[in-house]
Every structure is written in structure tokens, then in C-alpha cells.
Homo-oligomer: A and B are copies of this chain.
Amino acid sequence: MLVVMKAQATPEEIQVVCDYIEHLGFRAHPLPGAQRTAIGITGNQGEVERGNLEELPGVAEVIRVSKPYKLASRDVKQEDTIVRFQGTDAAIGGHELAIIAGPCSIESREQAFAIAEQVAAGGAQFFRGGAYKPRTSPYAFQGLGLDALKIMAEIRDKFGLRIVTEALDNDTLELVAEWADVMQIGARNMQNFSLLKQAGRLRKPVLIKRGLSATLEEFLMAAEYVMSEGNYQVILCERGVRTFSDHARNTLDLSVVPAIKRVSHLPILVDPSHGTGRRDSVLPMARAAVACGADGIIVEVHHQPENALSDGPQSIYPAQFEKMMGEIEKIAPVVGRTLPRGIHVGVSAE
């Protein structure tokens, strides 16, 4: 159920409606829009009686949301969600494309700083790096943990990059929330509902990667788990699905981008690194992602990928990152976007 407030409704009137919803034993989710505020109602089994609600001051109408995802649905919020970061110009979902770059894993302070310097120079606003790594084998490198989080905090201070890193469970999620700017939930945890709920209770932006065999509806329901707890700063990310394909590690499903845009107000990024698993496919698919309307790119960059402890074959070189930025800068205007303000990538005419 959704309560749509009148354009001129006052904050007090909105509060009264929220209080009334909570008084009924449900949860109220005020979602401010450009024209008017909508208030999502969750926690109800079946329909909420709308009679009294419709008579409260400031209420325009009460409508039913038919999709299984409510708060993530464009029916509930027409305007695109823009995730902003206090004290910075960085944003995800706005007019400017969001560029997140960095190594698969933080391997050392030196490695991390070397790469951070280059992706910052290349125009990234966000730095990614694994502190806690979900590895298929228990015997593989599992990440530097808290040490990696601290290194990335230094990188934020030094280069002004916002930090994106993955959490594996409730304990590491709290550490990530403390030290980083975006809490990433990986593809293999996309339906770890306990972790999603915990991410909803922490008030930091959450980046959810699509599961290897997740449908669009399941993808949005993962977002809904976070949002149902009151955290509306959710960013989606396509990273390839699993098919019979023999030419790439995963099949990057770019058509999910326009599909998400149709039904949801949440921003969606694309990860061409995991999406293909091959360095020589990253740039073509990054260009394609921008061309089809993605809100940004998350890409693995390593200054020495041949020595990387993980994901070396899909990490691009800093020079390739620079080339990629030059290419997407030219494509961005076709879809009404730009690279971040002040960044004009100087790539030679080729």
C-alpha cells in the first residue's frame, strides 16, 4: 500500500500519517519526491483498510502496489533515486556517471596506493578493493580483513575517493559500515536474507550485485529486503549470469539495464570485469554498458595484474582504464549523461 501526499502537504501532516501507520502496527516509509512525498506501508498481510487513511489531512490518495517489490518499484517513486555522499560531489544515479575502480583484493598498502593514485588521476570518484573475499576454495587467499579497511580509509583521505568494499556476514558488515562508504553485498550473497536485513538496519549506501542465476524480480526483492528495514540508499549492479557460454566466465546481461529502469527507480551499475572474466572484453562491454543506459561502471584495475592474488586475468591496466574513460566520455552524451564535473579525460585521438 502507498499513501500519496498532496504537493502542499506539510512535514507535520506527513508525520501524522506515519504515526498513524505505525499505530496500526505497520511500518511507514516516507519517500520524498520532486513534487510530493509518498509513504510506503509494509508489514501488512493483505490490504490495509484505506478509509481512515484517506481522510487524514494532506493525503491525496491511497493506492495498492501490485508488484511483489514495493519500495523498489517505480510505482512508489517516479523519480530516479540518486545516492549522494555527504561532503562530496560524488553521486550514483544522477546526471554524472559513477565510476568505481580498483583492484580485486587489497594486497598491500603499496599496491593499493599505486592503483588508487592512477584511478583517481583517470577520473574515478570511487575506489573498490576487497578486504573480505568470498573465495570458492577455503584454501585460497581470503583477504587482509581489517588491515585492508584501514588502508582504504587512508586512500579516501589522501585521494578523496569514496570507498566501496564487500562484506561477507553480519560481523564484517559492521566493520565495512564503519570504515567504508558503500557496503557491497556480493553475487553469492544476493539472497543471504539475514545479511540484507542487517544492511537495511545500518544507514550506509548498499551496492547489491545480481546473483548468478537471479531473475529481475529476485534482484529487486533483494533490494526490497534492505529497503524494508528503512535504508533506501540501494544501488544495483549487473555482473553477469551463469549460462552454457564457453567464451566468457559469465554472460553479461546488459538488457537488464533498460528492464530495471522501466520498473524501478534505483540506480544500476555494470561490472564488465566479473561480467566477462577477460581483460580484452572489459572495454567493449564498459562502452556497451554506458550506451544502454547504465548509471556507471565498476571495474577491476591492477597495475600488475600478472601478479595479482585474485582476478588477474580480468583486471585491466591503468592505461586501459584511461582509454576506457576517454571512450565512455564520448558515449555518455548520447544517453544524456556526462563524466563527473571537472574531469575531462585527455586521451589522444588514437
Measured in the bound complex, the distance between the Cα atoms of B257 and A287 in whole Å is: 13
With A138-B224, A194-B168, A228-B139 as given contacts, are A245 and B254 in contact (CB-CB < 8 Å)? no
Partner of A262 from B135, B242, B280 at Cβ < 8 Å: B280
Q: Are B192 and A192 in contact (CB under 8 A)?
A: yes
Q: Is A217 an interface residue (CB 8 A)?
A: yes
Contact B253 A193 (CB under 8 A): no
CB of A174 to closest CB in B, whole Å: 13
Q: What sequence of 0s and 1s flags, for each residue 226-266 of chain A, a beta carbon within 8 Å of any chain B beta carbon? A: 00100000000000011111111001111111110010000
Give the CA-CA distance A223 to B135 in the complex, in Å: 13
Among B138, B284, B287, which residue has its beta carbon within 8 angstroms of that of A228? Answer: B138
Binds B, one of A2-10, A148-156, A325-333: A325-333
Q: Are A254 and B257 in contact (CB under 8 A)?
A: no
Residues of B within 8 Å of A254, CB to CB, are 252, 254, 284-285, 288
Inter-chain CA distance A293–B283, complex, in Å, is 10
Question: A312 contacts which chain B residues (CB < 8 A)?
Answer: none
Contact between A334 and B136 (Cβ–Cβ < 8 Å)?
Answer: no
Place the interface of chain A in its size category: 35 or more
Question: Which of B70, B171, B262, B284 interacts with A291 by CB under 8 Å?
Answer: B284
The answer to whether A138 and B197 have CB atoms under 8 Å apart is yes
A138 CA to B226 CA, complexed, in Å: 9
Query: B241, A259: Cβ atoms under 8 Å?
Result: no
Q: How far does the Cβ of A224 sit from chain B's closest Cβ, in whole Å?
A: 6
Q: Of all chain B residues, which has the CB nearest A272?
A: B255
Complex contacts, A284 vs chain B, CB 8 Å: 254-255, 257-258, 291-293
Q: Are B256 and A253 in contact (CB under 8 A)?
A: no
Which residues of the partner chain B approach A288 to less than 8 Å between Cβ atoms? 254, 288-289, 291-292
Contacts of A164 in B (CB 8 A): none
Asked if residues A193 and B134 are in contact (CB atoms below 8 Å), the reply is yes
A213 engages B139 (CB within 8 Å): no
Q: Which residues of B contact A189 (CB under 8 A)?
A: 191-192
Q: Within 8 Å CB of A257, what residues of B?
A: 284
CB nearest to A212 among chain B residues = B213
In the bound complex, CA of A246 to CA of B323 (Å): 35
Give Cα A180–Cα B80 distance, bound, in whole angstroms. Answer: 46
Structural contact, B215 and A213, CB atoms closer than 8 A: no
Give the docked Cα–Cα distance between A212 and B190 (Å). 12
- Smallest CB separation, A2 vs chain B (Å): 14
* Contact B197 A188, beta carbon cutoff 8 Å: no
Residues of B within 8 A of A293 (CB): 284
Task: Give 21 pairs: A residue, B residue, CB < 8 Å, sorted on A.
Answer: A42-B139, A68-B136, A134-B193, A135-B193, A138-B224, A169-B192, A169-B194, A170-B170, A188-B191, A192-B192, A215-B247, A241-B244, A242-B244, A243-B244, A244-B244, A255-B285, A284-B292, A288-B288, A291-B291, A291-B331, A330-B334
6 additional A-B residue pairs with CB within 8 Å, beyond A212-B213, A327-B334: A68-B136, A68-B137, A138-B224, A169-B195, A258-B284, A336-B350
